[in-house]
Amino acid sequence: MVYDPKEVMYTDQTGKFPHMSSRGNKYTMVLTEIDTNSIWVEAMKNKTEGEMILARRRALARMKRCGILPKKQVLDNEASANYKQEMTESGMTYELVPPDNHRRNLAKKAIQTWKDHFVGVLSGTADTFPLHLWCQAIPQAERQLLLLQQSNIHPHLSAYAHVYGPHNYDAHPFVPIGMETLVHEKPKRRKTFAEHCKKGFVLGTSFEHYRAWTMWMNDTRATRVSGTVFHKHKYISTPAVTPADAVIAAAGRLANALQGKFSSTLADEPLAELSRLSDLFTQASVQPTPELQATPQPPEAPGPARRSPRLTTKVTANGRIIADPAPRPAPPLNPPIPPPGLALRLPRLTTAVSSDGRITAVPRPRPQAVHLPRVDPTAFPPRVIPPRRSLRLATKAQLTFAPPFRSTTTKGGRAPPFSTVGSKGTVRPPICHPAAFDQRPPHAQTHHAH
């Protein structure tokens, strides 16, 4: 397959980033070169023509250092006159996509790819990583994306290898962006009894130095390059040997020992033990295995009868499964014989045992109805209820009309309840008139003097 070089690049600008960087950047310009399938990103403070021209110049300068010289630029319909003049003066032709048809610009897809990658990078940073450093993490994030893309001219190479050549991981090792790190302080830079390291965050690998990284320091709030650091990544832990790994390794060494493959690093005592174990396995494999005889098992005691389900399933001729009521179990042919003289009570029948031991079912005798004689209501006179009398009858001398009694204090200080005081200071019961206790109507009241 022969690829025809296009020498074309597409450009576009992203939306506003949620956080303004410490350098005042809010937007990014994304450029994609078709032949190398590379994506180039430049941070901008705003979307004015001056910022766009400066970002384009920086990106083209980096492309020129890598030997990439595009001859045509495709961009959106919105472009100022000065921006068009800048493209013409740089020796390139330009082409605008049709109005309201942004999908013709391949930079839209490049922006989507870059945003997905950059969001993933920022999601892996430490919780305390300051987001105003996002624009300083772009250089390494851009190179990481090129390692994942494939070149269009050389499909067997990555876009990174096509642009920068083979990467030397020994000279420039990549580390996760945004993780906490401890930077070593050289003796001539620290004071007496001062700490030997300071805290910071990794911004990326320094490709101008050998095995060095660019860090942002917490104390100075500035960037610094150092090669003596200690990275504290939250996902990297010291590998440990699990019990399963130890068992598998021991089984492998044992298998080698049984085959006679002893390691030269073993001492005489472990070798002797392994040889003895090998002999035991060999003898066990040669000896015939005794046949195991089946041990007779005692018969199981009959347990309680299980109740059959109320529904059963059956398959019809057309393959359908239907549920039918389960048939009730038939009664036993020879039911247990109860002892003589004991009758089994059934709802309407009762069983009796004859003298010869046979059980017969006879109807249960019904109880006889008791007929009581009828009573003539005129045979007994009606009961006369006397009128209600007072609780305490008064004597004949007391049956006088007297005004309501009044309570008078006696010599003791109090008069007893329901009593009056006589003329000589004696206490007598109150005068009660029978009419006061007659609850009948006035026309029916009758007073009798005793």
| Distance from C-alpha of 310 to C-alpha of 328, rounded to nearest angstrom | 9
Joined together, the tokens standing for residue 64 give 């020129």
For the cut 60, the answer to whether the pLDDT of residue 26 exceeds it is: yes
Chain centroid to CA 428: 92
| Distance from C-alpha of 144 to C-alpha of 160, rounded to nearest angstrom | 8
Q: Are strands 93-96 and 72-75 parallel, antiparallel or unpaired?
A: parallel
Q: Which residue in this structure is represented by tokens 């994506």?
A: 39
Which of 261-265, 419-423, 438-442 is the least confident region?
A: 419-423
Average confidence (pLDDT) over 271-279: 69
What superfamily does domain 8-125 belong to in CATH? Ribonuclease H-like superfamily/Ribonuclease H (3.30.420.10)
Which of 344-358, 374-388, 404-418 is the least confident region?
A: 404-418
Q: Are strands 197-205 and 213-217 parallel, antiparallel or unpaired?
A: antiparallel
pLDDT in the model for residue 133: 94
Average confidence (pLDDT) over 157-168: 93
More confident residue, 180 or 298: 180
- Note every long-range contact of 63-71, with CB atoms under 8 Å and residues 24 or more positions apart, other chains counting: 63/33, 66/163, 66/164, 68/33, 68/35, 68/36, 68/38, 68/163, 69/7, 70/7, 70/8, 70/9, 70/33, 71/7, 71/8
Mean pLDDT computed over every residue of the chain = 77
Residue 215: name the closest of 207, 205, 436, 415 by CA: 205
Q: What percent of the chain has pLDDT over 70?
A: 63
At 281-310, the pLDDT tens digits run 676 666 555 555 556 666 666 655 555 556
Cβ–Cβ under 8 Å, residues 69 and 180:
no
The secondary structure of the chain, three-state, reads CCCCCCCEEEEEECCCCCCCCCCCCCEEEEEEECCCCEEEEEEECCCCHHHHHHHHHHHHHHHHHCCCCCCEEEECCCCCHHHHHHHHHCCCEEEECCCCCHHHCCHHHHHHHHHHHHHHHHHCCCCCCCHHHHHHHHHHHHHHHHHHCECCCCCCCEHHHHHHCCCCCCCCCCCCCCCEEEEECCCCCCCCCCCCEEEEEEEEECCCCCCCEEEEECCCCCEEEECCEEEECCCCCCCCCCHHHHHHHHHHHHHHHHCCCCCCCCCHHHHHHHHHHHHHHHHHHHCCCCCCCCCCCCCCCCCCCCCCCCEEEEECCCCCEEEEECCCCCCCCCCCCCCCCCCCECCCEEEEECCCCCEEEEECCCCCCCCCCCCCHHHCCCCCCCCCCCCCCCCHHHCCCCCCCCCCCCCCCCCCCCCEECCCCCEECCCCCHHHHCCCCHHHCCCCCC
Cβ–Cβ under 8 Å, residues 215 and 192:
no
pLDDT in the model for residue 145: 95
Q: Residue 188's pLDDT band (boundaries 50, 70, 90)? A: confident
Q: Residue 394's pLDDT band (boundaries 50, 70, 90)? A: very low
pLDDT in the model for residue 371: 66
| Distance from C-alpha of 363 to C-alpha of 439, rounded to nearest angstrom | 64
At 111-139, the pLDDT tens digits run 999 999 999 999 989 889 999 999 999 99
At 332-380, the pLDDT tens digits run 666 666 565 554 454 566 777 777 877 777 777 776 766 666 767 666 6
pLDDT in the model for residue 377: 65
How many CB atoms sit inside 10 A of residue 384's CB?
A: 5
Domain range list for the chain = 8-125, 180-232
Compute CA distances 400 → 417, 426, 434, whole Å. 21, 19, 10
Which of 151-155, 183-187, 411-415 is the least confident region?
A: 411-415
Residue 230: name the closest of 219, 215, 218 by CA: 215
| Distance from C-alpha of 257 to C-alpha of 278, rounded to nearest angstrom | 7
Average confidence (pLDDT) over 393-408: 47
Q: Residue 96's pLDDT band (boundaries 50, 70, 90)? A: very high
pLDDT in the model for residue 237: 60
Which of 59-63, 71-75, 395-399 is the least confident region?
A: 395-399
Average confidence (pLDDT) over 23-50: 94
Q: Residue 312's pLDDT band (boundaries 50, 70, 90)? A: confident
Q: Residue 399's pLDDT band (boundaries 50, 70, 90)? A: very low
pTM of this prediction?
0.52
Q: Which residue in this structure is represented by tokens 């020796």?
A: 91
Contacts of 10 (CB under 8 A, 6+ apart): 31, 32, 34, 73, 74, 75, 105, 106, 107, 110
For the chain, give the number of residues: 450
Residue at 21: amino acid letter: S
| Distance from C-alpha of 260 to C-alpha of 251, rounded to nearest angstrom | 14
Q: Residue 102's pLDDT band (boundaries 50, 70, 90)? A: confident
Average confidence (pLDDT) over 197-221: 92
Q: Residue 444's pLDDT band (boundaries 50, 70, 90)? A: low
For the cut 90, the answer to whether the pLDDT of residue 87 exceeds it is: yes
pLDDT in the model for residue 346: 46
Average confidence (pLDDT) over 66-72: 92
The upper half-sphere exposure of residue 350, i.e. CA atoms within 13 Å in the direction of its Cβ, equals 11
Average confidence (pLDDT) over 313-320: 75
Average confidence (pLDDT) over 390-404: 48
